[in-house]
A and B are shown apart, each in its own frame.
Chain A
Amino acid sequence: MGIVVRLLSKRSFDLGLPLLILILLATSPFYAPEYTVILLTSIFMYIIITVSWAIFSGPTGYISLASAAFFGVGIYTSAILGKALPLPLVIFIGSLVSFCLALLVGALTLRLRGIYFVMFTFGLVELLLHFILWWEVNITCTTGRVVPTVSNTTVYYLMLIVFVILMLTAYFIRHSKFGLALQSIGEYEEAAAHTGVNVTVLKITIFAISAFFMGAAGAIMATRWTYIDPRIAFNPIISFLPVLMAIFGGMGNLFGPVIGAAIFTYLEEFLITRFPYHYMLVFGIILLIAILYLPDGLVGLIQKLWKRISGGKDADT
């Protein structure tokens, strides 16, 4: 009986806390200052990119550096179609184009593992960047594009909606048989294939789903940046940040990448405003410390501390 009550209360706690946070976030434009809303939008953008990166790369161990490509494709779709079509449709098309690109890349890179996959995905970003740069200069004779703007609040709500859909998707993938199958690919791909996992289809599908959300984030973010050119849209840093954020937060559970992305984005914003000339230096040092002393990320550290405080009773938390 006691166990049932505890289980019930734990269940309602698990559901209640995210719901409460969600309501607080959804109503924040009504009471929070505009700056906070803009900062939250950036935080959500990085959370979306990081969590979608972690959906695929976390369990499988395939480190993808193609995030900037998918994000950039979303941005460019927004820039090209933004004037002609309503925004939700533009976002959907942007996501869909990213999705299709990921299907193609996934099919091409099936044989690649380890460092070769990393290099291929990084090459993709640079290839798209330089090709579109050349195309814009020589064929369409433009150097940049102007994206129609919408209000900060609209951008915020769009990001929030994509974030919620992404978290639900990530949760379902993680707790379904597909999550287990992905995990098994990460541990031993041949064994996974032999136990009946359709490795190829699963990898490509999850990779494409993760690209879908990155494309959505890009399409939304373009409306806030208003002016874009290939170097802004396909910034290779966007490929590295999700990896760093996910590792910083810890990839052991779903909240690690979320917390990592949120703290990282806030830290970056704080450092840029406080130390405009030294922020990369401080950022790099923090990163080094995190790599050297936080092997399981921030969430891992909190769990370790929690274990110590509670005297090791809840060893499985």
Chain B
Amino acid sequence: MIIRILDVAIAGLMLGGIYALIAVGLSLQYGVARVLNIAHGEFIMLGAFISWSLYTIFGINPLVSMAICGPLVFIIGFILYRTLYTSLRNSSASPAVFEGKSLLASFALLFIIQNVAILIWGADIKGYSYLAFPVNLGGAKFAANRLVTLGFAIVIGLVFYLFLARTRLGKAIRAAAQDPSAAGLMGVNINQVLALCFGFGALMAGLGGTLISISYQIQPTMGLEYTVIALIVIVLGGLGSIQGSFIGGFVLGLVGSIVTYIQPGLSLVAYYVIFMLLLVAKPTGLMGK
């Protein structure tokens, strides 16, 4: 019995680590940069496929390739915000108009990135085997790659938290999250900070994608599913709360693992039921005020 509980709990945490990482990314993009980025999953997909290429063609260790694909997607995200979203922001009369327009623009990006990925990598499901040997954890057996995934997700989350809490740039980001115009008046270069946030969001997605590619199979159309999960998590954690997203990711991972244990195939249904009940009962999220 205890082994079974351990089994479900650890599997949930491992799933949760990935959820937490991608949700923190979306939270930065939506909570701070105000872009509800439907193409978030496409950055995850890019990260996953770049790591796959590096591993299968050059034999580069996926944990090392994080250092390559992370900055790469960061630059893509940063440039996108500086060009596309900044010009939309300047032409929008109100924040609500910008939210609508940026949602549509990210939808267009979804189409473009997905099509480019299919042209480069083809539409087939891909995967590779890395650290696939089993590890015994108190009687429950797990593939080593999933434990590595969990470890890296937690480390990345903590590093980012320290960055937000301790550095000047982190302070600027937190200020921009609370009130962009006031932060601008206090001398924060707001366009720069918002673009950095969007870039960091893409970075999280890219790193999440690499971790996903280690343990799961990948394909160019996988993005939307992860976007939707990230959306559920950021509502669970409270829109705009980065810690909330991180914790919410683990909560959702645990829920998914428990539901899969009871009735496989219903885990996504359970996510949506929780999501919709939460929206009706407490739209500000578990951590919200």
Contacts and interface: CB of A to CB of B under 8 A. Distances in A.
A114 B96 contact: yes
B119 A277 contact: yes
A98 B248 CA distance: 33
A123 interface: yes
B269 A63 contact: no
A244 B119 contact: no
A291 B112 contact: no
A247 B111 contact: no
A115 B99 contact: yes
Nearest to A131: B269
User: Which residue among A108, A137, A281 has the maximum number of chain B CB atoms within 10 Å of its CB?
Assistant: A281
B239 interface: yes
B266 A116 contact: no
Contact of A280 (B96, B111, B228): B111
A63 B104 CA distance: 12
B88 interface: yes
B108 A291 contact: yes
A29 B259 CA distance: 52
A13 interface: no
Contact of B111 (A120, A122, A284): A284
A291 B106 CA distance: 11
B102 to A, nearest CB: 9
B276 A123 contact: yes
B95 to A, nearest CB: 10
B204 to A, nearest CB: 20
A187 to B, nearest CB: 12
A108 B275 CA distance: 13
A285 B239 contact: no
Contacts, number: 102
Nearest to A280: B115
Contacts of A244: 104, 107
Contacts of B235: 116, 119
Given A111-B280, A112-B279, A291-B105, A123 B272 contact: yes
B182 interface: no
Contacts of B110: 284
A126 B229 CA distance: 11
A186 to B, nearest CB: 11
B36 interface: yes
A109 interface: yes
Q: Which of A114, A284, A287 counts the most chain B CB atoms within 10 A?
A: A284
Contacts of A291: 88, 101, 104-105, 108
A134 B269 contact: yes
Nearest to A287: B108
Contacts of B279: 109, 112, 116, 119-120, 123
A39 interface: no
Contact of B283 (A112, A240, A281): A112
A116 B275 CA distance: 11
Nearest to B30: A115
A122 B107 CA distance: 14
B129 interface: no
Contacts of A133: 265
A292 B114 contact: no
B87 interface: yes
B107 A126 contact: no
B217 interface: no
25 contacts: A109-B279, A116-B283, A120-B276, A123-B279, A127-B272, A130-B269, A130-B272, A131-B269, A134-B265, A134-B269, A244-B104, A277-B118, A277-B119, A280-B112, A280-B114, A281-B111, A284-B108, A284-B111, A285-B112, A287-B104, A291-B101, A291-B104, A291-B108, A292-B105, A295-B91
Interface of A: 61, 63, 108-109, 111-112, 114-116, 118-120, 122-124, 126-127, 130-131, 133-134, 137-138, 236, 240, 243-244, 247, 277-281, 283-285, 287-288, 291-292, 295
Interface of B: 36, 84, 87-88, 91, 96, 99-101, 103-105, 107-112, 114-116, 118-119, 224, 228, 231-232, 235, 239, 265-266, 268-269, 272-273, 275-276, 279-280, 283
Given A116-B235, A288-B105, 11 more contacts: A108-B280, A119-B279, A123-B275, A123-B279, A126-B228, A127-B276, A130-B268, A244-B107, A284-B112, A287-B107, A288-B109
